[in-house]
């Protein structure tokens, strides 16, 4: 197992197109285990493979309080949604910033599990929010894209400053 580096905004690799997973081999299992380890260590409730530079439609999640409900979403698709509401959101690729965005409070998602078996899941609250956030990642989107251009510019500047500081 390994903790993988997480790309941060405005890294252009977070905007690249991701490909559906078609091969469920040992290499994929290792990647999934590494994504879980990285997500739990961060700590975060979700992580998309392309946040770690792997351009596959794969994300891991665990929105439970006691971190006992690991979920793998491969090639996920939202089947139905309920009403939207304002929800506070953060992202491991946009560290130390949170803001409010509109998300569906309930949804039904279809995906493949780590063995390639299809399943459907009803989600609500944080879990529903997380599914939308992760699918956005897989589509090259970040939650900051939904904010005003003023806020977006401020966030980008802050992130670039942070990267400068890290680079020394
Ligand atoms: O850890 C995370 N918390 C979170 C809170 C509200 C809405 C979405 C999230 S996902 C985020 C981890 C992350 O960046 N996943 O891509
Ligand atoms: Ni994120």
User: Could you tell me the distance, in angstroms and rounded to a whole number, from the CA of residue 55 to the centre of ligand 2?
Assistant: 15
Categorize the per-residue pLDDT at 17 as very low, low, confident or very high, splitting at 50, 70 and 90.
very high
Catalytic residue positions? 134
In a domain, 6, yes or no: no
Find the mean pLDDT for residues 122-138.
98
In a domain, 5, yes or no: no
Would the pLDDT of 106 be above 90? yes
- For residue 147, the domain's CATH number is 3.90.45.10
Closest CA to 93 of 6, 166, 23: 6
CA distance 32 to 36: 6
Q: Which residues contact 13 (CB under 8 A, 6 or more apart)?
A: 7, 50, 53
Ligand 1 pocket test: which of 45, 62, 100 has the largest number of ligand atoms within 8 Å of its C-beta? 45
Categorize the per-residue pLDDT at 104 as very low, low, confident or very high, splitting at 50, 70 and 90.
very high
The fraction of the chain above a pLDDT of 70, given in percent, is 100
Which ligand 1 atom sits closest to the C-alpha of 42? 1
pTM > 0.85: yes
Residue 154: per-residue pLDDT = 98
User: Could you tell me the distance, in angstroms and rounded to a whole number, from the CA of residue 147 to the centre of ligand 2?
Assistant: 15
Closest CA to 152 of 114, 97, 109: 97
Retrieve residue 109's tokens: 């998602």
Retrieve residue 28's tokens: 């994929």
Looking at the DSSP assignment, which residues form a beta bridge with residue 121? 109
Residue with the smallest CA separation from ligand 1 atom 1 is: 44
Model confidence pLDDT, tens digit, residues 19-51: 999 999 999 999 999 999 999 999 999 999 999
- Structural domains in the chain (count): 1
Which ligand 1 atom sits closest to the C-alpha of 93? 14
CA distance 33 to 91: 20
Ligand 1 pocket test: which of 36, 46, 76 has the largest number of ligand atoms within 8 Å of its C-beta? 46
In a domain, 99, yes or no: yes
Would the pLDDT of 168 be above 80? no
Residue 1: per-residue pLDDT = 87
In a domain, 163, yes or no: yes
The ligand with the least distance to the CA atom of 44 is: 1
**118 close to 111: Cβ distance less than 8 angstroms:** yes
Q: With a 6 A CB cut-off, is 10 part of the ligand 1 pocket?
A: no
In a domain, 49, yes or no: yes
In a domain, 4, yes or no: no
Model confidence pLDDT, tens digit, residues 48-57: 999 999 999 9
- Residue 99 is part of which domain span? 12-167
């Amino acid at each position: 197992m390994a903790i993988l580096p997480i790309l941060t905004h405005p890294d252009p690799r977070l905007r690249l197109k991701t490909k559906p997973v078609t091969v469920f081999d040992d290499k994929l299992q290792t990647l999934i285990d590494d994504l879980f380890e990285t997500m739990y260590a961060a700590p975060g409730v979700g992580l998309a493979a392309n946040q770690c530079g792997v351009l596959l439609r794969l994300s891991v999640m665990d929105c439970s309080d006691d971190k006992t409900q690991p979920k793998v979403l491969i090639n996920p698709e939202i089947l139905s949604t309920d009403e939207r509401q304002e929800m506070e959101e953060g992202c491991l690729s946009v560290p130390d910033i949170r803001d409010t965005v509109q998300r569906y409070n309930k949804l039904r998602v279809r995906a493949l599990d780590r063995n390639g078996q299809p399943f459907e899941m009803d989600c609500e609250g944080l879990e529903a929010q997380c599914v939308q956030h992760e699918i956005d990642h897989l589509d090259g989107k970040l939650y900051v894209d939904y904010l005003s251009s003023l806020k977006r510019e401020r966030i980008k500047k802050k992130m670039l400053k942070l990267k400068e500081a890290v680079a020394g």
